[in-house]
Each structure stands twice: as C-alpha cells, then as structure tokens.
A and B are shown apart, each in its own frame.
Chain A
Amino acid sequence: MARPAYLGGVLALAGLFGLAAAALVGEAAAPPVGALPVFVLVSLSLVVGLSTAASP
C-alpha cells in the first residue's frame, strides 16, 4: 500500500530542486546554449533520474 502524500512530497521536492537548478543556471550564468535548452535538459535529468532509480 503506497503512501501517496509522502510520495508526492518527495517528488515535489525533486521537482523544486530541478527547477531551482535550472533557474540558477539560466539567470546567473547565462549559459552559452541558451536558457531554454538548459531548462529542458534539467527537466530531462529530473524525469530520467526519477525513472531510472525506480527500475530494477
């Protein structure tokens, strides 16, 4: 029996971490490849990371 509230909290924390990382790099460092690619790649890292650890 899963605990959805706890699970949701952990996933939300991961999402906030990813968004914060993307925002920091996008705003502060002005990445050469552009802010949007960095944002989407951080999002990809988030999705792949969350999914990879949940695989056997």
Chain B
Amino acid sequence: MVGQIGPLVQVGRKKTALAVHVLGGIAGGATIGLLLGFGGELLRAGLGGTLDTVFVVVVPAALLYTASVDLGLLKVRHLTWVRQTPGSWPCSMGHYPGIFGWGFDLGLGVTTRIPYQSTLIVPLAAFLCGDLATAVAITTTYGAARALAVVAAVESVPGDDYGAACDAIQERVVPLKRLVGVTALVIAALIMIS
C-alpha cells in the first residue's frame, strides 16, 4: 500500500485525488457487500433460521481465533496473500481512474495483502448474516474507513513529503494491531451475550 501513496501526494490535485480514492473505497466495499449479501440471502433461503445459530457460533469463534493471532497469543501461519494493487494503474488507466481503482481494490478487502487476521471477519460476517442490507453496511463501512485512513495518513504530514507519509504509517502498525485484536475480543463477547 505504501507504494501507492506517491501518486496521491505528488501528482495532480491532492484533494481531488483523495476524494476519488474515498469514492473508490466506498464503491469497492459496497460491491463486495452486494456479492456476499446476495450469497448470504441464498444461504438463508436454504438454511432458514439455522443460519442465525451458525452466525452466533461461527463469527465469535472466528473472532477469538483471529484476535489471538493478532495479539500474538497464537503462533500460527497467517492467512494472507502477497498481491498488492499494481502501482502501474495510474499510468495504464489514467491518474484519477487509477486512484479510484486503488481505492476500489482496497475497499474489496480480500484482493490484497491482509495485515490483520481480524480483517477476514468482515467478509465472513457479511456472508453469514444472511441479509443484503447488513452485508452492504458492514463492508461499505470497511471500504470507507480504509480509504479515510489513507486520507488521514496523507494529511497527517505537511506538504508533499512522501517519505514522511510512509513513516507516519509505519510507526502505527504495532499499536494498531493490538487495538484490532482487543476490539475483536470485545466484539466476540458482545455477540455471544447479545
């Protein structure tokens, strides 16, 4: 992801680029939500009310597992892949379409490298909730939040200092990983008691 910051801070109008990136994130999140939500509706049509039981058991269990991995309590191999959004997109598609595509790609959530295992709960929960609107809300929020975090990272450094933007991102990794792990644990507990 760091390699993609350059076009945002160094080429063209920064505010326009950031807005296009956020739109891409929202579109990507909504798209994966529609797909997973539709799949979930089909699953609900097949399983009926049993899906709610599956949801209440599987999602908290998965959250406990991913939180344990993110917090470093469970030393297992991370489920992830190496793909990143191609840095050539702004060149091959054009500057703003490429930035939109980057936001869209990140907003999908499952097509690029997964730094936190708890990220996998987002598509899992969107699918198992068995409801289109819920799935779209969950994944669109993810896509928008992920894009807005890029905006925050870019805007947290003055000027067009690409290196400082990368440094600002790097120094947040460890505390954020703990935050994600703790949040996943709390949410697992809330789902189980609800």
Contact = CB atoms under 8 A, between A and B. Distances in A.
Interface residues of B, number: 61
B93 interface: no
Nearest to B171: A54
A18 B145 contact: yes
B55 A33 contact: yes
Contact of B138 (A32, A36, A41, A53): A41
Chain B's interface: helix, strand, loop or mixed, by majority?
A: helix
B157 A2 contact: yes
Given A29-B131, A53-B146, A53-B147, 13 more contacts: A2-B168, A7-B155, A17-B141, A21-B141, A32-B129, A33-B134, A41-B129, A48-B121, A51-B179, A52-B114, A53-B106, A54-B152, A55-B177
Which of B116, B152, B184, B190 gathers most chain A CB within 10 Å?
B152
Interface in B1-38: 1-2
Contacts, number: 185
Interface string A15-56: 001100110110011011110111011111111111111111
B166 A34 contact: no
Interface of B: 1-2, 44, 51-52, 55-56, 59, 63, 106, 109, 114-116, 118-119, 121-122, 125, 129-131, 133-134, 137-153, 155-158, 166, 168-170, 172-173, 176-177, 179-180, 183-184, 187, 190-191, 194
Range, interface on chain A: 35 or more
Given A44-B122, A49-B145, A56-B173, A10 B140 contact: no
B169 A14 contact: no
Given A32-B44, A48-B142, A10 B148 contact: yes
